[in-house]
A and B are shown apart, each in its own frame.
Chain A
């Protein structure tokens, strides 16, 4: 079974600074999707960014970008110019036949 590991239970960043959240996964597949979801205190699951494994180019969405290392099975999320509204739980997810999530990283943003 595919597993997703987020090794940082908690991270903290100063407002306007940059933070990187780590994610590794285990799979024998060559074609799959990877995602980062954000879960604010409201508990709603919000898609932050997605990456197709067949694409070599790293995905970016405004202040959010990923570093996708397929051979290393690594998929980190970089948040630039951090804002107070970025404070949330962040979940890394792997998707092939279904979607599996990591345990999450709680991000705190300090003013």
Chain B
């Protein structure tokens, strides 16, 4: 158990819909990262937050947005969903802004039909 909690574990929705994925980092970790893993692909970095502020942005679509709240949990919002958005979405956390080891949640599997 990494200490990072992601909900929901599985989500099935239709094209055009909007979903929210939630992440609670390990106790004491200030930095949260979101990654997308499509089937049999590597992990694509989406976005990083540190202590409530956006710190780094990767290949995140404009239809996607994220935020980190004062209690340090984070939410990833995916809107106008397309079939290609079906993927495993990982949240990871670390103590520092400049990453040492990342601790990963179990992922949220999104299926868009």
Which of B42, B55, B56 is the one whose CB lies under 8 Å from A103?
B42
User: Is A91 a contact partner of B98 (Cβ separation < 8 A)?
Assistant: no
B interface bracket (residues with beta carbon within 8 Å of A)? 20 to 34
| CB neighbors of B among A7-27 (8 A) | none
A28 at the interface (CB under 8 A from B): no
The total of chain A residues at the interface (CB under 8 A) is 18
User: Is A44 a contact partner of B43 (Cβ separation < 8 A)?
Assistant: no
A97 at the interface (CB under 8 A from B): yes
User: Is B42 a contact partner of A102 (Cβ separation < 8 A)?
Assistant: yes
Tell me which residues across on chain A come within 8 A of B64, comparing CB atoms: none
A64 at the interface (CB under 8 A from B): no
29 contacts between A and B (CB under 8 A): A33-B100, A33-B101, A35-B101, A43-B88, A43-B106, A44-B104, A44-B106, A45-B90, A45-B92, A45-B102, A45-B104, A50-B100, A50-B101, A91-B43, A95-B99, A95-B100, A96-B98, A96-B99, A97-B55, A97-B97, A98-B33, A98-B99, A99-B45, A99-B92, A99-B99, A101-B42, A101-B43, A101-B45, A103-B41
